[in-house]
Structure 1
Amino acid sequence: MKPDLRERWENGVIVGDGAMGTYLYNFGFPVGISYEELNLLQPEVIGDVHRRYIDAGAEMLETNSFSANYYKLSKFGLESQVEEINRAAVRIAKKASAGRAYVAGAVGSIRGGKRVNVTDQELTRYYEQQMAALLNEEVDAILLETFYDLGEMRIALGRARHLTDVPVICQFAVDQVGRTLDGYTISDAFGMLLGEGADVLGFNCHSGPKGIMSVMSRLGGPLNVPLSVFPNAGLADYVDGEYIYGATPEYFGECSTAFADLGARLIGGCCGTTPEHIAATVQALAAYQAAPLREGKPLPKPSETAVLTRSAEGTANGSSGNGRIPAITELVKERHTVIVELDPPRDLDIGKFMEGAAALKEAGVDALTLADNSLAVTRMSNMALGHLVQAELGLRPLIHIACRDRNLIGTQSHMMGFDALGIDHVLAVTGDPARFGDLPGASSVYDMTSFEIIRMIKQLNEGVAFSGKPLKQKAKFVVGAAFNPNVKHLHKAVERLEKKIASGADYIMTQPVYDPELIVAIRQATAHLDIPIFIGIMPLASGKNAEYLHNEVPGIQLSEEVRRRMDGLQGAEGRAMGVEIAKELLDIAMEHFNGIYLMTPFMFYEMNVALTRYVLEKSKPKAAHLSRS
């Protein structure tokens, strides 16, 4: 007989299961169907997934009922089968478990971070209906997961506590900002939920291990309250029509002990995880000895006013224009040319951004490039900041344009605005899917591919609108394209690059490269191309940063040597080693390319000030030689 769940996590770490939805997707079940209906149509398939996780060592199964509520099922005409689908979910899990694991009734957020027209009264009714069905089959716990708002979580928890005294696990989907979408700090949110009857507090989905670990570390744990973590297998990459997750089982297992050290007593996986990830977690925790919960720190009491504050300090104003200077594509033919990326802020305080831009201008950068809500995380408009950089600092802005956020109308309007502001250098990118950003309820537009947006921007240079109608004058855009060389088959990536050039790309900017041999390989593979390539270099900020980039961020791979050198380093020591490694990469890059593209980690612009000066100092002998010839 299994011990009571509360007793079990008091004395050790429980390993949960992994993903259901993405695992079924990998089995060939398409997006757009109700996976919960499979409880009735193909129960043997759901049972097989549960058994795979049991065989991997999972001690807790989640029922296949995440979206089995009235509102979500009504999208498929299944709203009359809420009870039947949920009860079947429990029976399937219990049969697969055969007494070897706890079974938690999975209940997902209904609003899901979206501004859907569902009232609080309707939420109360829908949650009670679903949880009653799960409880009628005697689940061991209720697991409330992937909630973005504290308000909705409190409604669900309230219904659970009205119906039962079984353990209730409350999990938010948040990123490194560490706040719910309705503005509460995680500490405040957890404190309120604990006072309202939650047994376990935690996180799942949305972020990979590093993102969740970052939020957990702010709690000052381990706490005297059990925490749960079910991360994704890193960030998803969309490749050839499929979502690919990069975090390996080995990396996932390594992270599990770090989670346990931070107070996690329930560890499993969410999107992209597989039985292999769970097996690695089980192995990593096999000998782990958890300290008694009572020795942990108590959660601080919620603040009286838990609101999201905004700072408008540092707003810059003034006017001046930058004189006409040669295009990036002209400069790079003559000398080493440096472009530095500095991310716009996530809040309204632009002080540090402008400070960094000014320091980089002083160091001698040729352009400052600003991403367009990279990783689908909401940031200040790069158009507005680009104008300030140009007007106040006399520094050329190079602006990213993502296909994700604007339809054809919005994109042409956006480009016309850039033309009016005199911003003429842009980089066309596809953009990461909105569902993986900080507003998962937002829509990804994708009216155009990266090939099409390049062609249509160049069409404006001919004085022709996207609609085909003539404009009264011609634009003067210099359009760049992105290139990811961190792939298994470099020649295929180059073939895709050739299509972007055929669409009208004037220059290329690569993803960060950390392998000197790859830099040489890129030079050889692109020698036939007649447009400039800017090699991407992003200095590493710490050992944790290195592992996060290698394991969780699509398109970035670090060599074993780089990971070894960064291992365990943090703070100033980590940044110093990151700059040293970047200089070694620059030594190779500058032999083969005139274009250098530096990316700034975590607004540590001082690192790229140093690297910019290194490039310019190192290129002086070449410039002197050119002046004599």
Structure 2
Amino acid sequence: MAFHRPKLPQLSRGDFLTDGGLETTLVFHQGLDLPCFAAFPLIMSERGKEILHDYFRPYLAIARRQGIGFILDTVTWRANADWGAEIGYSADDLADIQRRSVAFACHVRDRYTTPSTPIVINGILGPRGDGYRVGARMRPEEAQRYHSAQIDVFRDTEADMVTAMTLTYPEEAIGIVRSAQANGLPVAISFTVETDGRLPSGDTLESAIEQVDAATGSGPAYYMINCAHPSHFESVIDASGAWIERIRGLRANASELSHAELDVATELDPGDPAALGGHYRALRQRMKHLCVIGGCCGTDHTHIQAICEACAPLDAAPSAELV
């Protein structure tokens, strides 16, 4: 079934929020065991869906209070073939999980959307590899074939778009964008960076964005940065160039630790929510085109609230609380 997909509202009607660090919240705050850091098995049980609903609810409440939109992610960051197989899920299982994830997101959307808080259903893809390390580096053609397994499924759901999060090198992004284009799906690309502002592959953020745009006819609707603290990439954003205007979203980590340090951490580093909000405020002053604001590892709804309080453009007419 083909679904009509209107223009993405986050590109035309102001700020949109996202959630924070789903997996770190579930593991460190709720004590859940997520095999391979995969949250998608929760979608298979009623109790799991209750946990996910309780997780998203405070973020939706913040968006409602601010009177702004919300981008609601599916819980499918680890639902690709390699990670799925590692924890015992077949290709058919994963396709079913994606459809269930979109259906769950649609249920939440239908319950909580308002005229001032539109909700975008965002099909999430993760890297084939770790997300902190490059590992084997696919060519764009291989990446397109690999990620089409997920994108083909999202095409036939009510997902409004897809976003590839925590990508570590440009060739994988090129393949994902080409697959999304072939399926008629809007796509956003989110790179992660190390403490020096470069991708784990060593590519600069500027080079990665320019490579993807050149290879896809500026295919992504926009780019994002996620899974890095603002202090890791603020100096890069000080540069000039059209590529910076292609970055429309930020989902930063709470912690200033490096990927290597976070990878071996046994306790959550929540950082300083107020300080994180200050970083976002400073970045927004330089990047007037930012429209998607959220968090990543170590952040929860308290960080998102602090970011909203720090960023004046997010202060809109208040609306009713969620019930």
Are 1:256 and 1:285, in contact at CA under 8 Å, matched by a contact in 2?
yes
Once the two structures are TM-superposed, the CA of residue 223 in structure 1 deviates from its matched residue by 4.6
Instruction: Determine the C-alpha separation between the residues in 1 that align with 2:106 and 2:276.
Output: 27
Give the alignment partner of residue 108 of structure 1, picking from 88, 109, 126: 126
Once the two structures are TM-superposed, the CA of residue 222 in structure 1 deviates from its matched residue by 9.1
Instruction: Determine the C-alpha separation between the residues in 1 that align with 2:138 and 2:13.
Output: 40
- Is 1:40 aligned to 2:62, yes or no? no
Specify the code of the residue in structure 2 equivalent to 1:251: A
Instruction: Determine the C-alpha separation between the residues in 2 that align with 1:119 and 1:249.
Output: 39
- Is 1:170 aligned to 2:192, yes or no? no
- Is 1:130 aligned to 2:150, yes or no? yes
Specify the code of the residue in structure 2 equivalent to 1:162: A
- Is 1:63 aligned to 2:63, yes or no? no
Instruction: Determine the C-alpha separation between the residues in 2 that align with 1:200 and 1:6.
Output: 11
Residue 269 of structure 1 corresponds to which residue in structure 2?
A: 295
Write the deviation string for residues 312-352 of structure 1: whole angstroms up to 9, x where unpaired.
Answer: xxxxxxxxxxxxxxxxxxxxxxxxxxxxxxxxxxxxxxxxx
Alignment map for 1:313-392 (pairs within 5 Å):
none
- The alignment yields a C-alpha RMSD, in angstroms, of 2.8
Pair 1:179–1:43, CA change in 2 (3 A): same
Instruction: Determine the C-alpha separation between the residues in 2 that align with 1:192 and 1:241.
Output: 33
Residue 53 of structure 1 corresponds to which residue in structure 2?
A: 59
Give the alignment partner of residue 100 of structure 2, picking from 82, 88, 99: 88
- Is 1:150 aligned to 2:189, yes or no? no
Residue 235 of structure 1 corresponds to which residue in structure 2?
A: 256
Instruction: Determine the C-alpha separation between the residues in 2 that align with 1:68 and 1:19.
Output: 17
Pair 1:97–1:40, CA change in 2 (3 A): same
- Is 1:217 aligned to 2:238, yes or no? yes
Pair 1:173–1:222, CA change in 2 (3 A): closer
Instruction: Determine the C-alpha separation between the residues in 2 that align with 1:219 and 1:71.
Output: 38
Once the two structures are TM-superposed, the CA of residue 219 in structure 1 deviates from its matched residue by 4.3
Higher relative contact order (CA 8 A, sep 6+): 2
Instruction: Determine the C-alpha separation between the residues in 2 that align with 1:13 and 1:95.
Output: 23
Pair 1:79–1:122, CA change in 2 (3 A): farther
Specify the code of the residue in structure 1 equivalent to 2:32: F
TM-score (norm 2): 0.78
Give the alignment partner of residue 19 of structure 1, picking from 21, 24, 32: 21
Once the two structures are TM-superposed, the CA of residue 30 in structure 1 deviates from its matched residue by 2.0
Pair 1:212–1:88, CA change in 2 (3 A): farther
Pair 1:214–1:62, CA change in 2 (3 A): farther
Are 2:23 and 2:297, in contact at CA under 8 Å, matched by a contact in 1?
yes
SS at match of 1:155: helix
Pair 1:261–1:189, CA change in 2 (3 A): same
Instruction: Determine the C-alpha separation between the residues in 1 that align with 2:95 and 2:179.
Output: 16
Instruction: Determine the C-alpha separation between the residues in 1 that align with 2:200 and 2:99.
Output: 31
Residue 278 of structure 2 corresponds to which residue in structure 1?
A: 254
Once the two structures are TM-superposed, the CA of residue 250 in structure 1 deviates from its matched residue by 1.8
Pair 1:16–1:144, CA change in 2 (3 A): same
Instruction: Determine the C-alpha separation between the residues in 1 that align with 2:99 and 2:256.
Output: 33
Specify the code of the residue in structure 2 equivalent to 1:154: I
Residue 10 of structure 2 corresponds to which residue in structure 1?
A: 8
Instruction: Determine the C-alpha separation between the residues in 1 that align with 2:174 and 2:89.
Output: 26
Once the two structures are TM-superposed, the CA of residue 31 in structure 1 deviates from its matched residue by 4.5
Residue 473 of structure 1 corresponds to which residue in structure 2?
A: none
Pair 1:132–1:51, CA change in 2 (3 A): farther
Are 1:111 and 1:118, in contact at CA under 8 Å, matched by a contact in 2?
no
Pair 1:171–1:241, CA change in 2 (3 A): closer
Could you list the runs of 5+ residues in structure 2 that have no partner in the other structure? 64-68, 316-323
Pair 1:270–1:110, CA change in 2 (3 A): same
TM-score (norm 1): 0.42
Could you list the runs of 5+ residues in structure 1 that have no partner in the other structure? 290-629
Once the two structures are TM-superposed, the CA of residue 121 in structure 1 deviates from its matched residue by 5.8
SS at match of 2:305: helix
SS at match of 1:227: strand
Once the two structures are TM-superposed, the CA of residue 150 in structure 1 deviates from its matched residue by 0.9
SS at match of 1:59: strand
Instruction: Determine the C-alpha separation between the residues in 1 that align with 2:199 and 2:137.
Output: 19
Residue 199 of structure 1 corresponds to which residue in structure 2?
A: 221
Instruction: Determine the C-alpha separation between the residues in 2 that align with 1:208 and 1:138.
Output: 32
Are 2:19 and 2:72, in contact at CA under 8 Å, matched by a contact in 1?
yes
Give the alignment partner of residue 209 of structure 2, picking from 190, 195, 202: 190
Instruction: Determine the C-alpha separation between the residues in 2 that align with 1:117 and 1:210.
Output: 27
Specify the code of the residue in structure 1 equivalent to 2:39: Y
Residue 320 of structure 2 corresponds to which residue in structure 1?
A: none
Instruction: Determine the C-alpha separation between the residues in 2 that align with 1:222 and 1:11.
Output: 22
Residue 357 of structure 1 corresponds to which residue in structure 2?
A: none
Give the alignment partner of residue 78 of structure 1, picking from 81, 89, 110: 89
Write the deviation string for residues 527-583 of structure 1: whole angstroms up to 9, x where unpaired.
Answer: xxxxxxxxxxxxxxxxxxxxxxxxxxxxxxxxxxxxxxxxxxxxxxxxxxxxxxxxx
